[in-house]
Amino acid sequence: AHHVSIERARVRKDSSTKKLINEAIMNNDFLKKLDPQHMREMVDCMYERIYTEGQLVIQEGEPGNYLYVLADGLLEVMQNGKLLGEMRPRTAFGELAILYNCKRTATVKAVSQAHIWALDRQTFQSIMMKSTQATQEEY
Ligand code: CMP
């Protein structure tokens, strides 16, 4: 077997930030099914990004390379130019393109300045791969 070691960058976070990201993951129907060890690694590797009012976080139809958690601010979700709803803090989003390798299903726009935690696809995949390896090594 050929082992590729990817150095994952951990970003220090205080306990209230970790709690917020964890709650957002557990509020998401898809992400809450992940292994707890994977969730901890995801939380550790997320890094903060600030979006300004009016900026697009996600554009419908594009390939998706990040998974996000909204920490502060307000976002709106649109599909075919139609407003689907709003997102408030403690919401994880952008999981569909990452988990199912599909195009972005909706546009997400910052209605106010927004603090968002992001995780890139390579880091997500390397976290998911690690346990597959660990599980195989047990047998
Ligand atoms: P993704 O398709 O990767 O990118 C757009 C994201 O918007 C999607 O993942 C979901 O996280 C989110 N999303 C899609 N449809 C809705 C909806 N109807 N209401 C709220 N969020 C949505």
DSSP, residue by residue, 59-120: -TTSB--EEEEEEES-EEEEETTEEEEEE-SSEEE-HHHHHH--B--SEEEESS-EEEEEEE
Specify the pTM.
0.90
Per-residue pLDDT band at 135 (split at 50, 70, 90): low
Pick among 3.50.50.60, 1.10.10.10, 2.30.42.10, 2.60.120.10: CATH of 15-124: 2.60.120.10
Q: Whose CA is nearest to atom 6 of ligand 1?
A: 94
**Ligand 1 neighbours by CB, cut-off 6 Å:** 58, 64, 77, 84-85, 93-97, 104-106, 108
User: What span, in angstroms and rounded, lies between the C-alpha atoms of 122 and 20?
Assistant: 23
Q: What are the tens digits of pLDDT across the range 12-23?
A: 999 999 999 999
Q: How many whole angstroms from 79 Cα to the centroid of ligand 1?
A: 9
Per-residue confidence (pLDDT) for residue 9, from 0 to 100:
86
Cα 94 from Cα 36, distance rounded (Å) = 20
Is the four-CA dihedral 27, 29, 32, 38 of positive or negative sign? Answer: negative
Residue 74, sorted as left (phi over 0), alpha (psi -120 to 50) or beta, turns out to be beta
CA of 92 from ligand 1 middle (Å) equals 9
Per-residue confidence (pLDDT) for residue 130, from 0 to 100: 81
